Amino acid sequence: MSFVSGSTVTRSDLPCWEIPVPLSVDGRRYIAGLHLNTAEHLRRRQVGLGAATSTGLLHALWELPYGISFSKGSFSDIDCCTLAQADERWVQRVGDDFVRMYQPVGAIKWISVSDRSLARAVNKAASHPPTVRRTAIWNTSTDGRSPKAAATLLKAKLLGVGVLVFDGIRTHELVEPSDAIHGRPAVFRWWQAELAYRNWLSRTTPTE
């Protein structure tokens, strides 16, 4: 995948990419759909930054609105210390004030999990909070009409987990995933996106 130079791109010209990326959270493995914030990605490339995966730093940044100067007296001692020690490409210090340069690098829009066991696939997908669309991919050659499969499909529907069946040739949908629960973009969402971004960077060598 190629990217054009940030010096010749305006914000309105920037395309949006949704990138499938392997993601592991608390020992659980998913394929996650990272909706990339292209402007922030290009900024980080220009200033030589990668992913911000420190939860302490993200928590401190969360308390600081973007682009607004705030006095260090506005923060707890631990957040103030974290911000004071942070790279100035994440947060700038202007006298006794902090100015956040960090922007979220994107958002996770969906996750999927595949397994030869329908029950395992559903349970793995359901283990992720419903902040994204969740889909279980069932790798099977059966028709999925057994009573056990029917009960698991009902469970998936109640949990809001979509189910796709893949027989090695074709894929078709048995259960549609529920829409993600929207809310404040909490630090957990920032952190997940940063992990996915780190994984994507490790697999990709963008070119100008």
Residue 208 lies in a domain: no
Range of the domain at 42: 1-51+105-183
Residue 163 lies in a domain: yes
Q: Which residues lie below 8 Å from residue 138, measured CB to CB, with a gap of 6+?
A: 114, 115, 116, 117, 118, 121, 144, 163, 164, 165, 166, 174
Residue 72 lies in a domain: no
Tens-level pLDDT at each residue, the chain (208 residues): 332 223 233 343 445 578 999 999 888 899 999 999 999 999 999 999 999 999 999 999 998 999 999 998 889 999 999 999 999 999 999 988 999 999 999 999 999 999 999 999 999 999 999 999 999 999 987 766 788 999 999 999 999 999 999 988 888 999 999 999 876 657 889 999 999 999 999 987 554 4
Q: State how many domains the chain has.
A: 1
pTM for the structure as a whole: 0.82
Residue 191 lies in a domain: no
Q: Is the Cβ–Cβ distance between 85 and 95 less than 8 Å?
A: no
Residue 88 lies in a domain: no
Residue 67 lies in a domain: no
